[in-house]
A and B are shown apart, each in its own frame.
Chain A
Amino acid sequence: MKKIVAALAALAICATALITPALAQDKKFTVALVPGLTTDGFYITMRKGAQAAADALGVNLVFQGASDFNPVTQVPVLDAVIAKKPDAILIAPTDKVQLVEPLRKANDAGIPVITVDTFIGNGVYQTGAGEADFPLSYIASDNILGGEIAARALAKAIGDKGKVYVSNVKPGISTTDQREEGFKKEMAANHPGITVLETQFNDDDANKAASQLQAMFARNSDLVGVFGANLFSAIGAANGVKQAGQSGTIKVVAFDAPVSIADNINSGLVDVAIAQHPAEIGYFGVVSAYAHLTGQSIPVEIGTGFTIMDKSNIADPNISKYLYSE
């Protein structure tokens, strides 16, 4: 319910922001978008959404980031962005803790910070509590909810019983941690027939994710499902299922939906994919920044939606439009 309120609030600021450009617009605002990494379809799609909003509002959008998802490479990019004094920064922080101080520098310099996709601290901002409450807003898919959706989809696919596990990247990434958390929470609360085995971390290596699935299956011959918390975890696990000769028996739910996932769904490699709406995140990010810069108040949290893709609906253009494209 809170989500819906937040979404409505977002729509409201959209409306005001879109109506008002002529009024406040002597200065052309520059908004910087610092993605988690520049080379990922998810952030590239987010940039497209942000660009659409920027074009509509007459905002200059700067897209600068590192090529891997790592605070060590992100912070220097952020510092360079801060040095150029944009009017606002949208950032997908690559670590909940390590990005707090670097972002505080921006805040201290009077540059408003909005986090997109990932967050710092606990993701609850403007409370006056804690060290990391200074960003104005957190705009993202609700990844806990995404995990819950994945759990429900997997439970349905396996008839609500049997052993499953989560194939994850590595701990410490807020989004994938939350997906796992949501997945386990939903399974524990509403699916007593399902046993969730130990999570396997693959370092974003599909080869390793595949091998782990095979080892898990070798140990647990009654394994019936796996949740890949990001793309490589999912396609790796899916390949493991194929190599183990268990296609159709072990169900695979994938989080994230680059265009290639459509083929994987059609070929039966992946059973269900949960698509986020990165373009929406980028769009609302720019709109929120603009709203703030033009004196509007903005919600501290905006949750964007998900689309569940499977064989039955992937051909529908209303569904496939949510695939992350170049």
Chain B
Amino acid sequence: MTSTSPTEQSGTHVAPQADHGDPARTWLGRIAEGRAWLFLAGLIICFEVWSRLSFGATFMLNPFNVQSIAIFAVAPLLLATGQTFVIISGGIDLSLGFIMGLAAVVAAHATNMAGAVIPLPLAMLAGILAAVIVAGVPGVINGLLISRLRVPPFIGTLGMFGVARGVAFLLAGGTTVPVQNSWFALLGNGRFYGVPYLVIIAAVFVVVMHYILSQTRFGQHNYAIGANVQAARRAGIDIRGHTLRLYVLSAMCAGLGGALYAARFTAGAAQAGEPLLLDSVAAVVIGGASLFGGSGTIFGTVAGALVIAVIQYGLVFVNVEPFWQFIAVGFVIIISVLIDQAQRRFSGARQDE
């Protein structure tokens, strides 16, 4: 802190440090908080230099690359935003990958069925709506298991992972379900002044989720529950109701992810989200959330998802042996968690005044 600053003396000035539960203002806290963006910046610089030295080509100043990375990050990011809420509350949602697959299959079927009776743009909306609503069902079950029957989130959502997966495969009949709807395909692959619709949708979605997490009671209670569930209960917060809404919210994020997957690949596939689940958890952790709950931000998660996308895209771009991708992402996760631990140790011991 710069104690020489005159505004500090007044003591009355309240920084509208709005985005979450008011961060520790130690420098280490700030680094921990913004670490995902620092990683991102470092990675981009690293790839830029690498690319220029090896190939004499720019990496990040090439709009094609920016666009490709953005599209790449959309699906894991949608899962990761819901996961951010869950992880902040101290839980984890392992069912998101297959809820996304379920939603993709439902979106494909519903869009096709609706397309037979109503105009295509409406059928598209019906398909998306159906996907999000159907995705909510396993969310409700997750929420009830965890809040009413006190099943630990890890186990409850693991069970739901199996159920959603089975239902998705049954609905899909073990194959991919093609979508016949030109509007839906346009949504998944079209552009608005060069910006893919998918990226626009994801950006709007992220802003809305950021608002919910940082500016509503729901978000505030989510942080409180993650830090101290007893305190939250004693403060009169309806923990059960909150938990239920929380898992429905995260399932619906995956539902939207599934619908957009179906739009992009013009097909619903039950296994669509399977490889994305761990990436979603990784994005949240790289983004600065603690798996112990109580901390994390949506914009951190955005950076986390971009870090993963940049590594995976960048290593292909600079032509590195593919297996290094796993190693690189693994390292970033470990470093990220180490910074989180260090920050905790220091700020935990820190006494003010």
Contact = CB atoms under 8 A, between A and B. Distances in A.
Direct contact between A and B in the complex (CB less than 8 angstroms)? yes
Interface of A: 38-41, 43-44, 67, 198-201, 203-208, 210-212, 214-219, 231-232, 235-236, 239, 242-244, 258-260, 262-264, 267, 269, 324-326
B269 A324 contact: no
Contacts of A262: 178
B286 interface: no
B68 A243 contact: yes
A297 B272 CA distance: 44
A267 B169 contact: no
Contacts of B274: 204-205
Contact of A231 (B176, B189, B264, B314): B176
Given A198-B319, A214-B313, A231-B176, A239 B64 contact: no
Contacts of A242: 189
B276 A39 contact: no
B265 interface: yes
7 contacts: A39-B270, A212-B316, A214-B65, A218-B65, A232-B269, A239-B189, A324-B175
Contacts of A244: 64, 68
B183 interface: no
A166 to B, nearest CB: 11
Interface in B54-108: 55, 57, 62, 64-65, 67-69, 71-72, 75-76
A211 B68 contact: yes
Given A235-B265, A259-B175, A267-B266, A219 B55 contact: yes
Given A207-B276, A215-B313, A244-B64, A260 B175 contact: yes
Interface residues of B, number: 48
A200 B322 contact: yes
Q: Which among A39, A44, A198, A325 has the highest number of chain B CB atoms within 10 Å?
A: A39
Given A207-B276, A326-B174, A215 B317 contact: yes
Contacts of A218: 62, 64-65, 68, 317
Given A211-B72, A218-B317, A244-B64, A263 B266 contact: yes
Contacts of B312: 208, 211
A326 B173 contact: yes
A243 B265 contact: no
User: Which 10 interchain pairs have the tightest Cβ spacing?
Assistant: A41-B175, A214-B68, A215-B316, A211-B72, A205-B275, A326-B173, A260-B178, A263-B178, A39-B169, A260-B176
Contacts of B270: 39
B109 interface: no
Interface string B295-315: 000000000000001001110
Contacts of B266: 263-264, 267, 269
A191 B35 CA distance: 49
Nearest to A214: B68
Contacts of A38: 174
A38 B173 CA distance: 10
Given A214-B68, A215-B316, A203 B175 contact: no
B221 interface: no
Interface string B165-207: 1100100011111101000010001000000100000000000
B169 A67 contact: yes
Given A40-B174, A205-B275, A260-B175, A216 B316 contact: yes
Contact of A259 (B178, B269, B317): B178
A208 B275 contact: yes
Contacts of A267: 185, 266
Given A206-B265, A208-B72, 8 more contacts: A203-B275, A205-B276, A214-B72, A215-B317, A218-B64, A239-B265, A259-B178, A264-B267
A232 B272 CA distance: 9
B142 interface: no
Task: Output the residue of B65, B276, B317 with the most chain A CB within 10 A.
Answer: B317
A190 to B, nearest CB: 26
A218 B62 CA distance: 9
Given A207-B276, A214-B64, A239-B189, A67 B269 contact: no
